[in-house]
Amino acid sequence: MANTGFCAFCCRRKWVKRDWAIATVAITVIIAAVIIVILFFTVFSDSRNRKTSSPTFAPPSAGDFVPLTLLQSAKATGAFCLDGSLPGYHFQKGFGSGSSNWLLHIEGGGWCNSIESCNSRKGTSLGSSNYMEHQVQFSGILSQDPSQNPDFYNWNKVKLRYCDGASFAGHPESEFKNGTELFFRGQLIWEAMMNELLSLGLSKAKEALLTGCSAGGLATFIHCDDFRDQLPKDATVKCLADAGYFLDEPDILGNRTMLAFYRDVLQLQGVAKSLQQDCVGRMEPVKCIFPQEIIKNVKTPFFVVNPAYDSWQIENILVPIGSDPQGYWSSCRLSIKKCDATQIKRLQGYRDAMLKALSMFQRNEEGGMFINSCFSHCQTSYSAWHSPNSPRINNKTMAESVGDWYFNRKESKLIDCPYPCNPTCNNDDYT
C-alpha cells in the first residue's frame, strides 16, 4: 500500500491528553484575540461616527480637529448670519491648571459694504454657517501643544466663526426690507455668543483673553471692554488684536479708500451703534471705527500684534484695485521682495504712519505690542505664533512677548527695525 503521508497519519491517530490540553489553550487564545479585535473596531467605529449638537468636553490630543457647534439659542434672539442661518463656534475644553481660564479667538475675513457684496458673501462660510467646515484644526495661539503655545495650551479655547460681514457690529434696524433677505445681526451674534459661553463656564473664569485676526481683530477692539464687563471682577481679563490695526491712510493716488469703504459698511449695517458713543458724538462716526481712535478709550489692558508692512493693508489701502491703472505696483503690492527702491520708500512711509498711529498707545503702561517688519497679515493663529521658523524681535517670538505681557513678567513693547533688516520674517508672496 502506498504511503498516505504525514498529514493522513496525524489525522487518523488517537489524541492523547497532551494533545487535548494544547488544543484547548490554542482555542482559548484565538477566541480572546477575536474578542479584542471586535471590541477595538466597535469602539473605533463609534468614536469616528458619533455626532453631537453640543461642544466636546473631553480634551482632544494636540493637533486634533475641533467640531463646529451651531448656536441654537440664536433662534430666540434672531442672531443670524447674513443668510439667516445660525452662527457657530468651535470649543475645546481646557484641562489641568488651565481649566478655569478662557481664550476666545474671533475669525477674520473682511467686510461687505453693499447689498451686492453682502449677497455674494452669504454664499460663503463668511456669511452662512451652511458653508462652514464641520471641523477646524486649532493651531498657533489655539494650539494644545505646549511646544507651540507655552502659556495658553491648556486653556478653554473658542474660535468664534465670522458670518455677519461687519465685525460683529451690525444692527437689524438697518436691514433692507425689499426682498434682499440679508440679516445684519452682528451685534446680536456677539451677545448670543457671550451668553452661550458664559453658561459653559466663562462666567467663572479666573483668567481670560479675547483675541481676533484682521476683521476679527477689529471686532476685538470694538468689544474688548464689553468682554471685560461680563466677567468676574477679580478675573484677569485682557485683549489682543492681530493684524486688526487698520489705518486711515491715503492710497497712492491720494484717495481715502479705506475711509470711504468703512463709511459704506457703517451706513449699510448701522455699525455706529456698536462704537464708542462719546467718539461718535465728537466726530464723523466712520472715524470711530479705526483702532487709532478706539484704543484711546479702551480701559481693558490691550496688546497689538501687527506687521508694519501689513500685506492686506498694502494691497487694499495703499494700492487698492483701480489705483494703479498702469500696473506699476502689480507685483510689489503682492510681494515686497518685488518692490523697487522707489516703492520700498513708499512702503517705509506706510510703516512710519503705522508707528505714528501707535505712538500714543505706546505710552500706555498696561499695553503691549509686537510690530515686526514682515510683509504678512494674520500671524497668531498659525505657526508664526511660536515655532523654530517664527518671526522674532530681539530673539522673542510673538508667543513669548504676549506671555510676558499677559502674566506681567516684564514690559513687552517690541518694534522691529525697518525692512529688510529682520531675517526671521517669512514674507507673503501672492504673485
CB atoms within 10 A of CB 27: 10
Q: What is the pLDDT of residue 9?
A: 29
106-118: average pLDDT = 97
Q: Which of 248, 310, 416, 428 is catalytic?
A: 310
Catalytic residue among 105, 171, 223, 377: 377
Cα separation of 431 and 423, whole Å?
A: 21
Asked if residue 351 lies in contact with residue 422, where contact means CB atoms within 8 angstroms, the answer is: no
The per-residue DSSP string of 27-90 comes to HHHHHHHHHHHHHHHHHHHHHHH---SS-B-S-PPTT-EEEEEE-TTHHHHT---TTSPPPEEE
Across the beta sheet with 156-160, the strand order is: 135-137, 65-70, 88-92, 156-160, 101-106, 207-213, 236-242, 302-305, 368-371, 413-415
> What secondary structure letter does DSSP report for 258?
H
Q: Is the pLDDT of residue 103 over 80?
A: yes
Residues in contact with 362: Cβ distance below 8 Å, sequence separation at least 6, in sequence order = 369, 413
Q: What percent of the chain has pLDDT over 90?
A: 83
Domain limits, the chain:
64-415
Question: Does 14 score more than 70 pLDDT?
Answer: no
**Could you confirm whether 214 is annotated as catalytic?**
yes
Spatial distance between the Cα atoms of 378 and 311, rounded to a whole number of angstroms: 9
The whole-angstrom distance between residue 270's C-alpha and the CA centroid of its chain comes to 25
Average pLDDT of span 217-235: 98
With 0-12 / 13-18 / 19 or more C-beta atoms within 10 angstroms meaning exposed / middle / buried, residue 324 is middle
Beta-bridge partners for 88: 70
pTM, full prediction: 0.85
Per-residue confidence band for 180, with pLDDT thresholds at 50, 70 and 90: confident
Specify whether the CB–CB gap between 87 and 79 falls below 8 A. Answer: yes
Beta bridge partners of 305: 242, 370
Retrieve residue 365's grid coordinates.
503702561
Residue 285: count other Cβ atoms within 10 Å of its Cβ: 19
64-415 sits in which CATH class?
alpha beta
Cβ proximity of 393 and 344 under 8 Å: no
Quick count: other Cβ atoms within 10 Å of Cβ 230? 18
DSSP state of 338: G
Cell numbers linked to 374:
514682515
Distance CA 171, CA 307 (A): 31
Q: Is 416 a catalytic residue?
A: no
Q: How far apart are CA 80 and CA 328, in angstroms?
A: 43
CA distance 372 to 356: 15
Q: Answer positive or negative: Cα dihedral of 267, 269, 271, 273.
A: positive
Q: Residue 335 has which C-alpha cell?
A: 510681494
Mean per-residue pLDDT for 89-106? Answer: 98
Per-residue pLDDT, 177: 65
At 129, list the grid cell: 454657517
* Digit-coded pLDDT (tens) for 21-76: 444 444 444 444 433 333 333 333 333 333 333 343 334 444 579 999 999 999 99
Q: What span, in angstroms and rounded, lies between the C-alpha atoms of 104 and 174?
A: 28
* Percent of the chain residues topping a pLDDT of 70: 85
Which among 176, 200, 220, 177 has a CA at the least distance from the CA of 93?
Answer: 200
**pLDDT score recorded for residue 63:** 52
pLDDT at residue number 179: 66
Q: Tell me, what's the pLDDT at 31?
A: 42
Active site residue 174: no
Least-confidence region, from 14-18, 44-48, 316-320: 44-48
Catalytic residue among 85, 143, 214, 311: 214
* Mean pLDDT estimate for the chain: 88
Q: Averaged over 95-103, what is the pLDDT?
A: 98
Helix, strand, coil percentages, rounded to 5, for the chain: 40, 15, 45
Higher pLDDT, residue 286 or 41: 286
